[in-house]
Structure 1
Amino acid sequence: MASDEGLAGISRVTVFAMFGVVFGYATHHLDLRRIGDVAVVGPLTPGAEWPRLWQMARHCGRPTAGETELAQWVLTQATRAFVCGSDRITQFQEQGWKLEPGGKRVRFESTYANRDQLWTGNLTVEGLTPGQVARRPAIYTV
Protein backbone atom coordinates (compact mmCIF):
# COMPACT_ATOMS: atom_id res chain seq x y z
CA MET A 1 0.00 0.00 0.00
CA ALA A 2 1.43 3.38 -0.96
CA SER A 3 1.54 6.11 1.64
CA ASP A 4 0.93 9.81 1.15
CA GLU A 5 1.57 10.46 4.84
CA GLY A 6 4.89 11.23 6.44
CA LEU A 7 5.76 10.22 9.97
CA ALA A 8 8.15 11.39 12.65
CA GLY A 9 9.12 9.74 15.89
CA ILE A 10 11.65 9.14 18.61
CA SER A 11 12.59 5.51 19.18
CA ARG A 12 15.33 2.94 18.88
CA VAL A 13 17.19 3.33 15.58
CA THR A 14 19.70 0.97 13.97
CA VAL A 15 21.83 2.34 11.13
CA PHE A 16 23.32 -0.30 8.84
CA ALA A 17 24.82 -0.78 5.38
CA MET A 18 23.54 -3.17 2.75
CA PHE A 19 24.96 -3.46 -0.77
CA GLY A 20 26.75 -0.13 -0.27
CA VAL A 21 23.67 1.87 0.77
CA VAL A 22 23.13 2.99 4.37
CA PHE A 23 19.67 2.36 5.82
CA GLY A 24 17.91 3.21 9.04
CA TYR A 25 15.60 0.87 10.97
CA ALA A 26 13.33 2.42 13.57
CA THR A 27 10.22 1.31 15.38
CA HIS A 28 6.90 3.08 15.65
CA HIS A 29 4.08 2.52 18.12
CA LEU A 30 0.46 2.65 17.01
CA ASP A 31 -0.92 2.91 20.54
CA LEU A 32 0.02 3.61 24.15
CA ARG A 33 1.35 0.10 24.75
CA ARG A 34 4.57 1.20 22.97
CA ILE A 35 5.31 -2.27 21.62
CA GLY A 36 6.90 -1.06 18.38
CA ASP A 37 4.41 -2.83 16.18
CA VAL A 38 5.60 -1.01 13.05
CA ALA A 39 9.06 -1.40 11.52
CA VAL A 40 10.24 1.73 9.70
CA VAL A 41 13.06 1.20 7.19
CA GLY A 42 14.51 3.60 4.66
CA PRO A 43 17.70 4.73 2.97
CA LEU A 44 19.88 7.37 4.60
CA THR A 45 22.53 7.65 1.90
CA PRO A 46 22.14 10.86 -0.13
CA GLY A 47 20.75 10.09 -3.58
CA ALA A 48 19.35 6.68 -2.58
CA GLU A 49 15.55 6.51 -2.78
CA TRP A 50 13.21 4.07 -1.01
CA PRO A 51 12.34 2.02 -4.15
CA ARG A 52 15.98 0.87 -4.08
CA LEU A 53 15.16 -1.18 -0.98
CA TRP A 54 12.37 -3.01 -2.80
CA GLN A 55 14.65 -3.54 -5.81
CA MET A 56 17.17 -5.22 -3.50
CA ALA A 57 14.44 -7.44 -2.06
CA ARG A 58 13.24 -8.40 -5.54
CA HIS A 59 16.78 -9.20 -6.68
CA CYS A 60 17.67 -11.25 -3.58
CA GLY A 61 14.31 -12.91 -2.95
CA ARG A 62 12.50 -15.67 -4.76
CA PRO A 63 11.54 -14.76 -8.35
CA THR A 64 7.87 -15.40 -7.55
CA ALA A 65 7.87 -13.57 -4.20
CA GLY A 66 4.86 -11.37 -3.53
CA GLU A 67 4.82 -8.03 -1.73
CA THR A 68 4.46 -9.58 1.74
CA GLU A 69 7.41 -11.90 1.22
CA LEU A 70 9.52 -9.03 -0.08
CA ALA A 71 8.57 -6.99 2.98
CA GLN A 72 9.63 -9.91 5.17
CA TRP A 73 13.01 -9.95 3.40
CA VAL A 74 13.45 -6.23 4.13
CA LEU A 75 12.52 -6.69 7.78
CA THR A 76 14.83 -9.70 8.08
CA GLN A 77 17.80 -7.62 6.88
CA ALA A 78 17.00 -4.80 9.32
CA THR A 79 16.50 -7.25 12.19
CA ARG A 80 19.77 -9.00 11.33
CA ALA A 81 21.61 -5.68 11.64
CA PHE A 82 19.87 -4.90 14.95
CA VAL A 83 20.38 -8.30 16.57
CA CYS A 84 23.69 -9.49 15.09
CA GLY A 85 25.38 -6.19 14.41
CA SER A 86 26.09 -7.27 10.84
CA ASP A 87 27.07 -4.21 8.84
CA ARG A 88 25.78 -2.01 11.68
CA ILE A 89 27.18 1.51 11.65
CA THR A 90 25.57 2.76 14.85
CA GLN A 91 22.60 2.20 17.10
CA PHE A 92 20.59 4.64 19.20
CA GLN A 93 18.23 3.81 22.06
CA GLU A 94 16.17 7.00 21.66
CA GLN A 95 16.70 9.06 18.52
CA GLY A 96 14.57 11.36 16.41
CA TRP A 97 13.75 10.27 12.86
CA LYS A 98 11.46 11.29 10.03
CA LEU A 99 9.90 9.20 7.26
CA GLU A 100 9.00 11.29 4.22
CA PRO A 101 5.59 10.93 2.51
CA GLY A 102 5.33 8.70 -0.53
CA GLY A 103 6.74 5.41 0.70
CA LYS A 104 5.22 1.94 0.87
CA ARG A 105 3.39 0.24 3.75
CA VAL A 106 2.81 -3.49 4.10
CA ARG A 107 0.71 -5.13 6.81
CA PHE A 108 1.73 -8.70 7.68
CA GLU A 109 -1.00 -11.32 8.00
CA SER A 110 0.54 -12.32 11.33
CA THR A 111 3.33 -10.80 13.40
CA TYR A 112 6.72 -11.19 11.71
CA ALA A 113 9.98 -10.51 13.58
CA ASN A 114 7.88 -8.92 16.35
CA ARG A 115 6.32 -6.42 13.94
CA ASP A 116 2.85 -6.22 12.45
CA GLN A 117 3.68 -3.80 9.64
CA LEU A 118 6.60 -2.52 7.58
CA TRP A 119 6.65 1.10 6.45
CA THR A 120 9.38 2.11 4.00
CA GLY A 121 10.26 5.48 2.57
CA ASN A 122 13.00 8.06 2.45
CA LEU A 123 14.27 8.39 6.01
CA THR A 124 16.31 10.90 7.96
CA VAL A 125 17.78 10.30 11.41
CA GLU A 126 18.93 13.08 13.71
CA GLY A 127 22.57 13.23 14.76
CA LEU A 128 24.19 11.31 11.92
CA THR A 129 27.34 12.64 10.27
CA PRO A 130 27.89 12.74 6.50
CA GLY A 131 30.48 9.99 6.92
CA GLN A 132 27.97 7.70 8.63
CA VAL A 133 25.44 7.95 5.79
CA ALA A 134 27.92 7.97 2.89
CA ARG A 135 27.78 5.16 0.34
CA ARG A 136 29.99 2.22 1.35
CA PRO A 137 32.20 -0.01 -0.76
CA ALA A 138 30.42 -3.30 -1.41
CA ILE A 139 31.60 -6.68 -2.60
CA TYR A 140 28.21 -7.42 -4.11
CA THR A 141 26.04 -4.96 -5.98
CA VAL A 142 22.33 -5.14 -6.53
Structure 2
Amino acid sequence: MTSDEVLTGTSRVTVFALFGVVFGYATHHLDARRIGEVAVIGPLTSGVDWKHLWQMARDCGRPTAGDAELAQWVLTQATRAFVCGSDRIAQFDANGWRLEPGGMRVRFESTYANRDQLWLGNLTVDGLAEDQVSWRPTIYTA
Protein backbone atom coordinates (compact mmCIF):
# COMPACT_ATOMS: atom_id res chain seq x y z
CA MET A 1 0.00 0.00 0.00
CA THR A 2 1.38 3.42 -0.86
CA SER A 3 0.92 6.62 1.08
CA ASP A 4 -0.23 9.86 -0.57
CA GLU A 5 0.00 12.06 2.48
CA VAL A 6 2.75 13.84 4.41
CA LEU A 7 3.09 12.52 7.93
CA THR A 8 4.74 14.53 10.68
CA GLY A 9 5.36 13.58 14.25
CA THR A 10 7.41 13.94 17.37
CA SER A 11 8.63 10.70 18.91
CA ARG A 12 11.65 8.58 19.68
CA VAL A 13 14.08 8.65 16.74
CA THR A 14 17.13 6.50 16.05
CA VAL A 15 19.57 7.60 13.35
CA PHE A 16 21.79 4.80 12.04
CA ALA A 17 23.98 3.79 9.10
CA LEU A 18 23.40 0.71 6.96
CA PHE A 19 25.64 -0.14 3.99
CA GLY A 20 26.90 3.46 3.94
CA VAL A 21 23.48 5.15 3.90
CA VAL A 22 22.09 6.96 6.96
CA PHE A 23 18.50 6.14 7.92
CA GLY A 24 16.04 7.36 10.50
CA TYR A 25 13.74 5.13 12.55
CA ALA A 26 10.84 6.79 14.35
CA THR A 27 7.64 5.52 15.91
CA HIS A 28 4.13 6.68 15.20
CA HIS A 29 0.93 6.28 17.20
CA LEU A 30 -2.41 5.51 15.56
CA ASP A 31 -4.58 6.45 18.55
CA ALA A 32 -4.61 8.02 22.00
CA ARG A 33 -2.96 5.00 23.62
CA ARG A 34 0.37 6.22 22.15
CA ILE A 35 1.94 2.77 22.00
CA GLY A 36 3.98 3.42 18.86
CA GLU A 37 2.56 0.59 16.81
CA VAL A 38 3.96 1.95 13.55
CA ALA A 39 7.66 1.94 12.62
CA VAL A 40 8.55 4.86 10.34
CA ILE A 41 11.84 4.33 8.50
CA GLY A 42 13.52 6.20 5.66
CA PRO A 43 16.82 7.45 4.32
CA LEU A 44 18.33 10.68 5.60
CA THR A 45 21.32 10.76 3.26
CA SER A 46 20.82 13.32 0.51
CA GLY A 47 19.98 11.85 -2.89
CA VAL A 48 18.92 8.43 -1.56
CA ASP A 49 15.31 7.36 -2.14
CA TRP A 50 13.39 5.05 0.19
CA LYS A 51 13.26 2.46 -2.61
CA HIS A 52 17.00 1.94 -2.06
CA LEU A 53 16.23 0.52 1.41
CA TRP A 54 13.58 -1.78 -0.05
CA GLN A 55 16.13 -3.00 -2.62
CA MET A 56 18.61 -3.66 0.20
CA ALA A 57 16.00 -5.91 1.80
CA ARG A 58 15.50 -7.74 -1.51
CA ASP A 59 19.24 -8.18 -1.99
CA CYS A 60 19.82 -9.45 1.56
CA GLY A 61 16.63 -11.47 2.00
CA ARG A 62 15.34 -14.69 0.54
CA PRO A 63 14.69 -14.56 -3.23
CA THR A 64 11.05 -15.56 -2.66
CA ALA A 65 10.39 -13.17 0.24
CA GLY A 66 7.12 -11.26 0.14
CA ASP A 67 6.49 -7.71 1.32
CA ALA A 68 5.87 -8.68 4.97
CA GLU A 69 9.14 -10.60 5.19
CA LEU A 70 11.08 -7.79 3.52
CA ALA A 71 9.48 -5.32 5.92
CA GLN A 72 10.60 -7.51 8.82
CA TRP A 73 14.17 -7.39 7.52
CA VAL A 74 14.02 -3.58 7.38
CA LEU A 75 12.56 -3.34 10.88
CA THR A 76 15.16 -5.79 12.21
CA GLN A 77 17.98 -3.52 10.99
CA ALA A 78 16.42 -0.47 12.64
CA THR A 79 15.69 -2.34 15.86
CA ARG A 80 19.27 -3.65 15.95
CA ALA A 81 20.54 -0.07 15.77
CA PHE A 82 18.12 1.07 18.48
CA VAL A 83 18.77 -1.78 20.91
CA CYS A 84 22.43 -2.63 20.30
CA GLY A 85 23.72 0.74 19.18
CA SER A 86 25.23 -0.89 16.08
CA ASP A 87 26.08 1.86 13.62
CA ARG A 88 23.91 4.29 15.62
CA ILE A 89 24.69 7.93 14.92
CA ALA A 90 22.13 9.64 17.15
CA GLN A 91 19.28 8.78 19.51
CA PHE A 92 16.48 11.16 20.51
CA ASP A 93 13.77 10.55 23.10
CA ALA A 94 11.44 13.05 21.44
CA ASN A 95 12.29 14.69 18.14
CA GLY A 96 10.39 16.04 15.16
CA TRP A 97 10.35 14.18 11.84
CA ARG A 98 8.56 14.27 8.49
CA LEU A 99 7.72 11.38 6.14
CA GLU A 100 7.10 12.47 2.56
CA PRO A 101 4.22 11.11 0.45
CA GLY A 102 4.80 8.34 -2.07
CA GLY A 103 6.22 5.77 0.32
CA MET A 104 5.05 2.28 1.18
CA ARG A 105 3.07 0.84 4.06
CA VAL A 106 3.20 -2.79 5.14
CA ARG A 107 1.00 -4.32 7.82
CA PHE A 108 2.43 -7.32 9.66
CA GLU A 109 0.22 -10.37 10.15
CA SER A 110 1.09 -10.21 13.84
CA THR A 111 3.11 -7.80 15.92
CA TYR A 112 6.79 -7.88 14.96
CA ALA A 113 9.48 -6.20 17.10
CA ASN A 114 6.66 -4.45 18.99
CA ARG A 115 5.26 -2.90 15.79
CA ASP A 116 2.14 -3.70 13.79
CA GLN A 117 3.09 -1.79 10.65
CA LEU A 118 6.10 -0.45 8.78
CA TRP A 119 5.83 2.81 6.85
CA LEU A 120 8.72 3.50 4.48
CA GLY A 121 9.37 6.77 2.73
CA ASN A 122 11.74 9.67 2.31
CA LEU A 123 12.31 10.98 5.81
CA THR A 124 13.69 14.13 7.38
CA VAL A 125 14.59 14.46 11.05
CA ASP A 126 14.80 17.82 12.81
CA GLY A 127 18.12 19.09 14.12
CA LEU A 128 20.59 16.83 12.31
CA ALA A 129 23.83 18.27 10.97
CA GLU A 130 25.04 17.52 7.44
CA ASP A 131 27.89 15.35 8.73
CA GLN A 132 25.39 13.19 10.64
CA VAL A 133 23.43 12.28 7.49
CA SER A 134 26.24 12.13 4.94
CA TRP A 135 27.32 8.91 3.24
CA ARG A 136 29.47 6.65 5.48
CA PRO A 137 32.46 4.62 4.32
CA THR A 138 31.64 0.91 4.34
CA ILE A 139 33.26 -2.33 3.25
CA TYR A 140 29.85 -3.90 2.68
CA THR A 141 27.50 -2.99 -0.16
CA ALA A 142 23.95 -3.93 -0.95
- Which TM-score tier does this pair reach, normalised by the shorter chain? over 0.9
1:124 aligned onto 2:118: no
- Secondary structure of 2:107's counterpart equals strand
Written as runs of structure 1 = structure 2, the 5 A alignment for 1:49-128 is 49-128=49-128
RMSD: 0.4
CA separation in 2, counterparts of 1:13 and 1:111? Answer: 20
Query: Could you tell me how far apart the structure 1 residues matched to 2:75 and 2:87 are?
Result: 15
Query: Could you list the per-position Cα deviations for residues 87-131 of structure 1 after superposition, in whole angstroms to 9, with x for gaps in the alignment?
Result: 000100000000000000000010000000000000000000000
1:27 matches 2:27: yes
Q: Which amino acid aligns with 1:13?
A: V
Distance across 1 between alignment mates of 2:63 and 2:70: 10
Identical residues among aligned pairs (%): 78
Q: 5+ residue gaps in structure 2?
A: none
What is the rounded CA distance, in whole Å, between the counterparts of 1:23 and 1:115 in structure 2?
18
Q: Provide the residue aligned with 2:38 in structure 1.
A: 38
Partner SS, residue 86 of structure 2: coil
Matched to 1:49, the amino acid is D
> AA paired with 2:98?
K
How far apart, CA to CA, are the structure 2 residues paired with 1:110 and 1:19? Answer: 28
Aligned length: 142
Is 1:18 paired with 2:18? yes
- Unmatched 5+ residue regions in structure 1? none
- 3-state SS in 2 of match to 1:75: helix
How far did 1:2 drift? 1.1
Using structure 1 for the length normalisation, give the TM-score: 0.99
Where in structure 1 do 4 or more consecutive aligned residues deviate above 6 Å?
none
- Partners of 1:96 and 1:3 in 2: how far apart? 19
Q: CA deviation at 1:138?
A: 0.8
Question: Which whole-Å deviations, capped at 9, do the CAs of 1:50-73 have from their partners, x for residues lacking one?
Answer: 000100000000111000000000
